[in-house]
Structure 1
Amino acid sequence: MSRLIVISNRVKRPGTGAEQGGLAVALSSALRESRGIWVGWSGETTERFTGQIAFNEDSGVKTATIDLEEQDVDEYYNGYANKTLWPLFHFRIDLAEYARDFEGGYNRVNERFADTASPLIEPEDVVWVHDYHMIPLGQMLRDRGHKNRIGFFLHIPWPPTRLLVSLPHHSVLVETLFAYDVVGFHTEEWLESFRHYAEREMGGTVSGDFITVGNRTIQAVACPIGIDTQEFVAASNSEEAAIMREQVDVSMQGRSLIVGVDRLDYSKGLEERFNGYARLLKDNPECHRNVVLLQIAPPSRGEVESYQEIRATLDSLAGRLNGEYSDVDWTPIRYVNQGYPRDRLAGVYRAARIGLVTPLRDGMNLVAKEYVAAQDPEDPGVLVLSRFAGAALQLKDALLINPYSPEEMADAILKALAMPLEERKRRWRKMMDSVEQQDVIWWRTCFTGRLTGEVLNPAEAETAAGPLV
């Protein structure tokens, strides 16, 4: 196999050890498999951009990172990526901010990434660019003369055309995607939205997986990301996980634990989740003293105003809910603003009777798959999952809900608490089959197989890495 060069904003930083999940875990596994290099931002700032590359290797993953200027971070990361594209692509046009400085900084930093990656790319390498931070990077690499096979994968939703056209210079941004050979999405819904834009706004034509605009034809595919299932199952059976589970069990004092694990973000539906849990307690006094919601929500993007607001809102909701329902020996909600290593997190998942994963809109949501993978096969918990998460298309045996409805969420929690063991095991087994078959290796094979021409359709991906579910 050709060497894989991954380029993304987020890079697994050397010496950090186990990660908490998400793209970092998935890409680390893929890079170890393919002898690749991961190129991106170090997360550090410098007074003046020099282009100096820091090379490191940790746990078999080679990285090449650069520092950015404060202005770069403000305009590219906090600005265009997270104040403009992120809310718009998550259907929150009301929160999207449009500023010329943001767009200029976004393009400038992508040029810097192109300059960084360009000398590292050899003629036979396959290049895989990731996520909304890097949409124009493929075109910039082409401008530097690279004729390699280059693919792009979007890890968040692709918005409907009627929303995307609100973005200034939207056509210029989308045109850069046609510099790639393969463009990937998590779900058919996001893929169909992309096709619709290409046809309606660009005069393109669609033929199967291929989209032609002008003289350029690309493949556009749906390929849902998975987790490193074997590794996560091993983590859930580790000594650290067992210790964590025992600590949680002792603290619960026989009560049923409901767990949510989410980055602190308005797309995750945390306010709606707290309101649904409050409705459960209001309408079902028998649940008092018998359930506890543990919400783990590490803060992120603290310099963005909308994230400061969601944190303040959740602080207020948690305080009000605990003030209204707590007793001297029972606090109904434990709200924790920190992350945990994956093995300890796996112990929390296994201790939880219910996994509550209720985003308002999500590209995939790997927490749902991690919760399933961490369960005891002889006594599994129940996954309550938003139908608006990408994972809902694969995990159909979860209790699927509308996260905007407090009553529907409360009803699902009640059903999960009362669910018989045999039904829990049956639902879990079907979901675990999907998590095992469509793991991170399946995802990589599905996408990079298209990129290299080794896999041309989903049936071939089944043969290479397990069946589509």
Structure 2
Amino acid sequence: MGRLVAVSNRVADPRNLAAGGLAVALGEALKATGGMWFGWSGKIVEAAQGGTPGEGELHIQQAGNVTLATVDLCREDHDAYYQGYSNGVLWPVFHYRIDLADFDSGYLNIYRRVNQLFARKLAPLLRPDDVIWIHDYHLIPLASELRAMGCGQRMGFFLHIPLPPPLILAAIPQHEWLMRALFAYDLVGFQSQLDLEHFSRYVQSEAQAEPMGEYRFRAFHRTVRAQAFPIGIDVDEFAALGQCEESRETYEMMRGQYSSRRLLLGIDRLDYSKGLPQRLKAVRTLMAQYPENRRSATLIQIAAPSRETVDAYADLRRELEGLSGAINGEYGELDWMPVRYIHRTTARRRLPGLCRACRVALVTPLRDGMNLVAKEFVAAQDPDDPGVLVLSRFAGAAEQLREALLVNPYDINATAQAIQQALHMPLAERQSRHQKLLERIRAQDVHWWRREYLRILGETDGGVGG
């Protein structure tokens, strides 16, 4: 297989990655193989003279064995491509929130224009035997734009967020064009079997695709292979991170300050998909229905800032601040508060210590492609005295992590009961559940994800043929 060329909206130095998500997973994959990482530079530049969008400047730099190639965007393109279409249309619809989507007709045109810009900048950098791995919803049509320019390299796509059922997808104006673009790829990867099932149903019902067996579908004179590849973490790297000074310092600080408390932990971006209001309401119900947890259990809820200029996110922040204040006002004491709400990002090097110090992790999104925090919590635990994972059945991770306590986050009472069960789970059961969870995240770690995806991509026939 030739050089790996990874493409994503944002590019990060793989030697210095922030916590969680696509950047860590992709950075670890590239560090292992070398190659090139292409995407937006993160810079917004002035439009060309006369107010017309400019041709973004290409920047190339070396980061270890990885070449970073990035392109600037002007304000109009960034706002319509990134905020408007990617996060104003695709993100809410793919997370089943049609009510929050802004179907402004101008967004789609600029979304396509930016993908065309990326294709023009990327194509001259490619070698004939490159393997191109394109990531996430920002770049769905990129392969079709590259194909239109004559690029015949093997191309794969991986969707890191959920894919909704056909009827929800069909709410997107020009959804046919968007999904047709996926047939320009040789391999389309999803986080879960459920996402794959939704894709299969969509392409057969809406595009009249012919199923060809072995996860292959034919439509628009091309054949695409689709398969689920649940993304993982580097278990050994995260465990080793737990031995660094910042992690050990965090663990000791948490154990010292909360020595008489049992800690619940939530680590999320501030996003309406994460189920944060429902989680706080479950903690309030826990305190009301199981009063023995008062002065004993405390939720540490970290909600990292995210897209704060968007009204839905600002509304969510106000709701969470109001809820945490109300819960603390109703149940708090001078020396104890049931909720510690932190609206800041926590350094990745502190996360293992934080996870290890907590008795229960609450990973309860309303919808999530995978959720790597669930796996990081498991990896950080002391096998002799592990914590318990309470996990939403609507997270992609739930397909793998069956020994977690699976909950419906919309059911506040049932979630509170699961938290109570987790807080009082016997040691032997905690150890048994943790051992099985750890075995599974080791078996399907980030290295397995990379190897398996690229192996299947390498074996997949070109899409034009049968």
Structure 2 unaligned segments of length 5 or more: list them. 48-53, 462-466
Query: Equivalent residue for 2:31?
Result: 32
User: Given the alignment of the two structures, is residue 97 of structure 1 paired with residue 97 of structure 2, yes or no?
Assistant: no
Q: Which 10-residue stretch deviates more, 269-278 or 318-327?
A: 318-327
1:166 to 159, 168, 171: 171
The CA RMSD measured in Å over matched residues stands at 1.4
Cα pair 1:259 1:354 within 8 Å, conserved: yes
2:139 to 125, 134, 137: 134
- Separation in 1, partners of 2:34, 2:175: 36
Q: What aligned pairs does 1:360-371 form with structure 2 within 5 A after superposition?
A: 360-371=366-377
1:88 to 93, 99, 106: 93
CA displacement, residues 215-255 of structure 1 (integer Å, 9 cap, x when unaligned): 21110011100011111011123222111111111221320
- Separation in 2, partners of 1:333, 1:307: 20
| Letter matched to residue 6 of structure 1 | A
Residue 98 of structure 1 and its aligned partner are, at CA, apart by 0.2
Residue 142 of structure 1 and its aligned partner are, at CA, apart by 0.5
Cα pair 1:78 1:303 within 8 Å, conserved: no
Query: Equivalent residue for 2:191?
Result: 186
Q: What aligned pairs does 1:425-464 form with structure 2 within 5 A after superposition?
A: 425-453=431-459
Cα pair 2:187 2:457 within 8 Å, conserved: yes
Residue 317 of structure 1 and its aligned partner are, at CA, apart by 0.7
Cα pair 1:358 1:389 within 8 Å, conserved: yes
Residue 85 of structure 1 and its aligned partner are, at CA, apart by 0.6
Query: Equivalent residue for 1:467?
Result: none
| Letter matched to residue 426 of structure 2 | P
Query: Equivalent residue for 1:73?
Result: 78
Cα pair 1:18 1:341 within 8 Å, conserved: no
CA displacement, residues 260-281 of structure 1 (integer Å, 9 cap, x when unaligned): 0001100000010001011001
Query: Equivalent residue for 2:423?
Result: 417
- Separation in 1, partners of 2:10, 2:290: 43
Cα pair 1:14 1:56 within 8 Å, conserved: no
CA displacement, residues 91-121 of structure 1 (integer Å, 9 cap, x when unaligned): 1111111011111111111111111211111
Aligned residues: 454
Residue 13 of structure 1 and its aligned partner are, at CA, apart by 4.5
| Letter matched to residue 316 of structure 1 | G
Query: Equivalent residue for 1:3?
Result: 3
- Separation in 1, partners of 2:362, 2:63: 33
Instruction: Pick closer, same or farther for the CA change 1:213–1:18 going to 2, 3 Å.
Output: closer
- Separation in 2, partners of 1:336, 1:371: 18
Residue 62 of structure 1 and its aligned partner are, at CA, apart by 2.8
1:203 to 205, 208, 223: 208
Cα pair 1:25 1:228 within 8 Å, conserved: no
User: Given the alignment of the two structures, is residue 352 of structure 1 paired with residue 387 of structure 2, yes or no?
Assistant: no
User: Given the alignment of the two structures, is residue 46 of structure 1 paired with residue 51 of structure 2, yes or no?
Assistant: no
The alignment partner of 1:294 has SS state of strand
Residue 10 of structure 1 and its aligned partner are, at CA, apart by 2.1
Q: Give the TM-score normalised by structure 2.
A: 0.95
Residue identity over aligned pairs, in percent, reads 48
CA displacement, residues 384-421 of structure 1 (integer Å, 9 cap, x when unaligned): 00011000010000000010111111111111111111
Cα pair 2:279 2:409 within 8 Å, conserved: yes
Cα pair 1:20 1:339 within 8 Å, conserved: no
Cα pair 1:38 1:62 within 8 Å, conserved: yes
Residue 63 of structure 1 and its aligned partner are, at CA, apart by 1.3
| Letter matched to residue 154 of structure 2 | R
Instruction: Pick closer, same or farther for the CA change 1:335–1:185 going to 2, 3 Å.
Output: same
Residue 454 of structure 1 and its aligned partner are, at CA, apart by 8.2
- Separation in 2, partners of 1:407, 1:276: 7
- Separation in 2, partners of 1:228, 1:19: 14
- Separation in 2, partners of 1:454, 1:160: 26
- Separation in 1, partners of 2:139, 2:155: 13
- Separation in 2, partners of 1:385, 1:98: 32
Q: Give the TM-score normalised by structure 1.
A: 0.94
- Separation in 1, partners of 2:100, 2:307: 15
- Separation in 2, partners of 1:181, 1:83: 28
| Letter matched to residue 124 of structure 1 | D
Instruction: Pick closer, same or farther for the CA change 1:379–1:454 going to 2, 3 Å.
Output: farther
Cα pair 1:89 1:157 within 8 Å, conserved: yes
The alignment partner of 2:152 has SS state of coil
Cα pair 2:14 2:27 within 8 Å, conserved: no
CA displacement, residues 254-313 of structure 1 (integer Å, 9 cap, x when unaligned): 200100000110000001000101100111111111011001111111122111111111
